[in-house]
């Protein structure tokens, strides 16, 4: 058996990166009957067939998985947002952070286009998320600011770039790794969003070691699989104080003697973050009821 990593899936073909080259493979029929979803990042074993193509015979156990976009066996997620054009939305940042927390991966918040941003407003956002405990990297892909810091963070790891369209993910990766030549798109002045220049997830090798995954941009996120009482665990500042509430079943809504609400009143938990928690919780409850 030969082995490798799925770096791209397209039109029922799976492209497997080996130590020497990339092999185009098909999936053995029994996996299709089991409706198994093979993901970019999956480690597989395969056999060569005719015409220099391979047949995937075994899928090795996954070490991790990002749920949206669905990528297997990655080490960290680089959540990428533009400081301006389109303007950064803290509510949207919080939603993506929750999805990344669900996947139990290391998280880096990358803010692009800082050369166009108001420095005081940008610093406020950086300080806010740094205080929660997130690593924040500020860059300008076009101006070349902060690229070396980001490149060093990617070294030797499998990293996925995710975030809304228009954040400049493809431009960033083109600057991190010369030769990728990913297609980039401008932000529409009419709708305030970027074009989806990436059509499918692909794992791209870095010359300094490691891989990155360029993913299609997303303008919204969903929480259909989450239970209401799980959400608080994906807000670190809420999770670490939840045990202080009088009731162990406290959802931090209308319950008396709630440590979270008190912390918000005292400024120990950011009010905007708490509002993000309430909005997502309401969405989860509505989805649960089937409305």
Which CATH number fits the domain that encloses residue 236?
A: 1.10.40.50
User: Does residue 140 carry a pLDDT above 80?
Assistant: yes
Its domain, for residue 40, covers 2-59
Considering the domain boundaries, does residue 7 fall inside one?
A: yes
Per-residue model confidence as pLDDT tens digits over 155-179: 989 998 888 878 888 889 889 988 7
Q: How many CA atoms lie within 13 A of 89 on its CB side?
A: 15
Per-residue model confidence as pLDDT tens digits over 9-34: 888 899 999 888 899 999 887 776 66
Higher pLDDT residue, 192 or 88? 88
pLDDT more than 90, % of the chain: 57
Considering the domain boundaries, does residue 219 fall inside one?
A: no
Per-residue pLDDT, 99:
86
Residues 74, 183 share a domain: yes
Residues 115, 98 share a domain: yes
User: Does residue 181 carry a pLDDT above 60?
Assistant: no
Domain count across the chain: 3
* Last residue in a domain, options 10, 29, 59: 59
Residues 55, 69 share a domain: no
Distance (Å, rounded) from C-alpha 88 to C-alpha 86? Answer: 6
Residues 69, 50 share a domain: no
In the beta sheet, which residues pair with residue 194? 187
First CA to last CA across the chain, in angstroms? 49
Higher pLDDT residue, 76 or 225? 76
pLDDT band at 183 (very low <50, low <70, confident <90, very high): very low
Residues 72, 185 share a domain: yes
Residues 195, 88 share a domain: yes
Higher pLDDT residue, 201 or 153? 153
The residues, ordered by sequence, that sit 6+ positions from 223 with a Cβ below 8 Å of its Cβ are 98, 99, 231, 280, 283, 284, 287
pLDDT band at 1 (very low <50, low <70, confident <90, very high): confident
Return mean pLDDT, the chain.
Answer: 86
Per-residue pLDDT, 29:
79
Considering the domain boundaries, does residue 221 fall inside one?
A: no
Residues 81, 201 share a domain: yes
Residues 173, 33 share a domain: no
Per-residue pLDDT, 81:
95
Q: What is the pTM of this model?
A: 0.80
pLDDT band at 136 (very low <50, low <70, confident <90, very high): very high
Distance (Å, rounded) from C-alpha 166 to C-alpha 266? Answer: 36
Per-residue pLDDT, 94:
96
Residues 251, 183 share a domain: no
Considering the domain boundaries, does residue 86 fall inside one?
A: yes
Residues 265, 136 share a domain: no
Which CATH number fits the domain that encloses residue 206?
A: 3.40.50.300
Per-residue model confidence as pLDDT tens digits over 60-115: 999 988 766 678 898 999 999 999 988 999 999 999 999 889 888 899 999 999 99
Considering the domain boundaries, does residue 220 fall inside one?
A: no
User: Does residue 189 carry a pLDDT above 60?
Assistant: no
- The Cα-based distances of 115 to 110, 140, 172, 291 in angstroms read 14, 6, 14, 43
User: Does residue 198 carry a pLDDT above 60?
Assistant: no
Per-residue pLDDT, 291:
47
Residues 203, 73 share a domain: yes
Contacts 24+ apart (CB under 8 A), 130-136: 132/236, 132/237, 132/273, 133/236, 134/97, 134/107, 134/108, 134/109, 135/107, 135/108, 135/109, 136/108, 136/109, 136/110, 136/111
Each residue of 87-105: b (16+ CB within 10 Å) or e?
ebebebbbbbbbbbbbbeb
Which CATH number fits the domain that encloses residue 38?
A: 2.40.50.140
In the beta sheet, which residues pair with residue 22? 17
pLDDT band at 248 (very low <50, low <70, confident <90, very high): very high
Considering the domain boundaries, does residue 97 fall inside one?
A: yes
Residues 199, 89 share a domain: yes
């Amino acid at each position: 058996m030969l082995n490798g990593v799925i770096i791209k899936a397209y039109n029922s073909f799976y492209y497997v990166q080996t130590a020497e080259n990339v092999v185009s493979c098909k999936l053995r029929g029994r996996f299709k009957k089991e409706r198994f979803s093979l993901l970019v990042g999956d480690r597989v074993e395969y056999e060569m067939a005719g015409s220099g193509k391979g047949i995937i015979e075994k899928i090795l156990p996954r070490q991790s998985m990002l749920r949206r976009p669905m990528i297997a066996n990655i080490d960290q997620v680089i959540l990428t947002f533009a400081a301006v054009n389109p303007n950064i939305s803290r509510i949207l940042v919080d939603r993506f952070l929750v999805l990344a927390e669900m996947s139990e991966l290391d998280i880096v918040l990358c803010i692009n286009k800082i050369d166009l941003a108001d420095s005081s407003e940008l610093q406020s956002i950086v300080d806010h998320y740094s205080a929660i405990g997130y690593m924040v990297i500020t860059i300008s892909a076009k101006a070349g600011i902060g690229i070396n810091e980001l490149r060093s963070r990617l070294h030797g790891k499998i990293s996925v770039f995710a975030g809304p369209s228009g954040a400049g993910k493809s431009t960033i990766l083109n600057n991190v790794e010369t030769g990728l030549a990913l297609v980039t798109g401008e932000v529409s002045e009419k709708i305030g969003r970027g074009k989806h220049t990436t059509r499918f997830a692909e794992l791209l090798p870095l010359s300094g070691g490691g891989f990155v995954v360029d993913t299609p941009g997303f303008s919204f996120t969903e929480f259909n699989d989450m239970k209401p009482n799980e959400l608080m665990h994906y807000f670190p500042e809420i999770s670490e104080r939840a045990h202080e509430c009088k009731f162990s079943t406290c959802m931090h809504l209308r319950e008396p003697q709630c440590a979270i609400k008190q912390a918000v009143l005292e400024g120990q938990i950011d009010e905007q973050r708490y509002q993000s928690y309430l909005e997502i919780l309401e969405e989860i409850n509505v989805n649960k009821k089937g409305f």
